[in-house]
Structure 1
């Protein structure tokens, strides 16, 4: 709940910031000065980009949370409790790589299963490959959405 409150506070703060930037942009656009109009267009783009980034980030977080909840309910989470850890708390690299290879074999056997793609994304994350983890998680979200829309399992 503390995280939700923090995110809500930050979103509200960003809304005020975007409104403030929007007001400045309108003032610049209506000034009549060509240079100010150019700056106004640039300043107007900032809140639009900001809103897009906030909305897309929150949508992704909610999608990932939905998948995590479903995987948890189905008892398919990766068990990493017994893996050796560094002093920082991260899983030892060799253990994470071993886990990744195991999950990759699952994925190779069933690449169109969102549950396996979700597990692979988590394994990529544990192995430290954030870019592939994000891409694989996007794929898991798309596969899960397709499954929900088609009503299949």
Structure 2
């Protein structure tokens, strides 16, 4: 998705420059709209790439510390079986309730949401984990 968004951003930027250079009032208005679209797309792309890198670092640290959740039985496609994911979810939620300031607990909850195929909540909780991890690293300095 990031590659498709990057392609769109480049194409929108190219079209915007062409419209702006035309000198026609309507074309200039379209060019300005495309510049705005370009900027929003670029911002979204950067935000998603940064999120992915931060999540990867947090996951790698959790794995290095031996804190990853136990693997769940999988389907032939590689996804966790839904029943197993739903059974693992209460434990992850209880871990967050017991340790609300632990980014590790929040990251494991994010993984539980993802295994249960709730991507929206998985991303929201992962962002909370990343924020707590950043706060922890700042306090450690």
Report the TM-score, using the length of structure 2 for normalisation. 0.87
Task: For residue 16 of structure 1, report the CA deviation from its aligned partner.
Answer: 9.6
Look up the match of 1:50: 41
**1:89-146 deviation per Cα after TM superposition (whole angstroms, max 9, x unaligned):** 3222221111111111111101111000000000111111111111000000000000
> In the comparison of the two structures, how many residue pairs are matched?
140
Structure 1 gap ranges (5+): 1-6
CA–CA separation in structure 2 for the residues paired with 1:123 and 1:110: 16
* Partner Cα separation in structure 2 for residue 132 and residue 28 of structure 1: 40
Q: Deviations over 1:42-72 (max 9, x none)?
A: 2212321221122111100110011011101
SS of corresponding position for 1:149:
helix
Q: CA deviation at 1:149?
A: 0.9
Q: How does 1:1-153 map to 2 (within 5 A)?
A: 10=3, 14=6, 18=10, 21-80=12-71, 83-151=72-140
Moved over 6 A (4+): none
1:50 and 1:17 map into 2 onto residues whose CA distance is: 6
Tell me which of the two structures has the higher relative contact order, counting C-alpha pairs closer than 8 angstroms and 6 or more residues apart. 2
* Distance apart, 1:17 and its partner CA: 5.8
The normalised TM-score by structure 1 is 0.80
1: CA distance, partners of 2:86 / 2:64: 26
Structure 2, gaps ≥5 residues long: none
